[in-house]
Amino acid sequence: MRLTKKLSLFAAAAVITASTAVLAAPTFINVLTGGTSGVYYPIGVALSQLYSNGIDGAKTSVQATKASVENLNLLQAGRGELAFALGDSVADAWNGVEDAGFKAPLKKLRAIAGTYPNYIQIVANAESGIKTLEDLKGKRISVGAPKSGTELNARAIFEAAGLSYKDMGKVEFLPYAESVELIKNRQLDATLQSSGLGMAAIRDLASTMKISFVSIPAEVTAKIDNAAYEAATIPAGTYDGQDADVPTVAINNILVTHEGVSDEVAYQMTKLMFDNLERLGTAHSAAKDIKLESATKNLPIPLHPGAERFYKEAGAL
C-alpha cells in the first residue's frame, strides 16, 4: 500500500514538473537577416535585443544569410521566426516562381510589416569610366549571390534597359563586402547593390577610392513589369564624394514570419518594433523610413493574425 502511495505521489510530481516545464518553455526567435555589411543585419540585431528584453522567456538569435530568397525558404521550413525580404521576392515566393529560387509556393509565409525601401545602388570605380547603364557593357560587375533578391533585381533592371549578363565582360555573383573588396583590388569595375541608403559596404568603398554612381532613368523603371519597382532617388551627399542626386529604383522591404509563430509572439514582435522606431533608427538610418501608416499597404502575402491585431488596436487597419 505504501509503495502504491509513493508511486502515485511520484507520478503526480512528474506531471506537475512536466507541466511547469511546458509553461516555462522558452520562446525561440531567430531573426534572419543578410550579410553583416548590409542593412538587414544591424536592424535585425536591434530587433533581437528588443525581443529579448520585451518578450517573456524569449531566447533570440540573429542569423547572417544570403538575404531574401534564402530567408523565405528558411521560414517556410520553420528554421526562423522573423526575416527581412524584398517585396518582389516575397511575391515570387508566395507564387512559387522557380526561376526566382522557389520550387513551390511558400504558403506558410505571413507578413509582419512593410518597412523601408531598398534602393538599387550601382557603384563603379571612377577610373573605369562607367557612368551609365550602357557603359557597363564589356565591364566586370558583381550582382549579388545567385538568385538572391539583389540578383533578381539586377536581372529585371538590365532587361528593362535592353542589357543582359552576356553584354558584360565578367559577371560575379558575390555579396556586398566581397564585391567591394574586389573593386578596391581592381578585380571588378562595378557592383549592383540592393540595400537601404547609407550601407556600410558602399561607405567603406567611398572612403578609400573615388567612385561613380550609375543612374537608372525613370523610363527604364517604367519598363519593369513588376509593381514592386518604383522610381526613386539616392539624395546627394548620401555617400562621400556623391555630389548629385542619383535617379534609381526602390523596392520595399517586408518583415516576414510564418503561420507556425503564435499570435501572441507575432503581436509582440510587431508592437515592440513600432514602439521603438527611434531606437531602430539609431541602429541604421534606413529604419527611419519605417512608418506605421504604410506598414500594411501593398503586401503580397497575408498579414499574420497577431500583427493584424496590433494594427487594429493602433488604428492602422
pLDDT 10s digits, 162-172:
999 999 999 99
pTM of the model: 0.84
CA 267-260-23 angle, to 5 degrees, is: 75
CB distance 311 to 296 below 8 Å: yes
Poorest-pLDDT segment among 24-38, 114-128, 180-194, 257-271: 24-38
* Mean residue pLDDT across the chain: 92
pLDDT 10s digits, 180-233:
999 999 999 999 999 999 999 999 999 999 999 999 999 999 999 888 899 999
Q: Measure the CA–CA gap between 72 and 78, rounded to whole angstroms.
A: 10
Q: Measure the CA–CA gap between 77 and 70, rounded to whole angstroms.
A: 11
Q: Going by C-beta distance under 8 Å and a sequence separation of 6 or more, which residues neighbour residue 312? A: none
Would you say residue 9 has pLDDT above 60?
A: no
Query: DSSP label at 303?
Result: B
Would you say residue 22 has pLDDT above 50?
A: no
Look at residue 12 in the predicted model and tell me its pLDDT: 47
